[in-house]
Amino acid sequence: AKGKSAKKSIVKFVIDCAAPVDDKVLDIASFEKYLNERIKVEGKTGNLAQCNVVITRDRTKITVASPQDLGFSKRQLKYLSKRYLKKQQLRDYLRVIAASKNSYELKYYQITAGDEDEGEE
């Protein structure tokens, strides 16, 4: 029953970076590269391919697909997203919000009145 070709159920996590990408604040290619280098699987970085974890991106979204039985941590994606934003000095403007059970999105902080359209969409 160890048929590797058997279709295992795959869990997909999506990080939606539409707002910052449209404003050309965030370079999604370098974000993807960062995740590729930093995501740990079974406690090791650079272990993605062996564990069938696939990172894909289109214009505004990064999708991390991993086998169900791996128990991939969604929280880790949030942690790494925040670290990446910090590295790019964007942490003051963007926050990582869970949009659904398996997706995050990067949103601007809602600046309340008083600040002159600082960081407003």
Instruction: Quick: pLDDT tens for 26-54.
Output: 898 999 999 999 999 988 888 888 999 99
Q: Which position has the token pair 């003051």?
A: 92
Question: What mean pLDDT do residues 1-27 have?
Answer: 78
Taking the C-alpha atoms of residue 54 and residue 37, their distance in angstroms, rounded to an integer, is 12
What pTM value is reported for the model? 0.79
% pLDDT > 90, the chain: 50
Residue 4 scores a pLDDT above 50: no
| pLDDT surpasses 50 at 6 | no
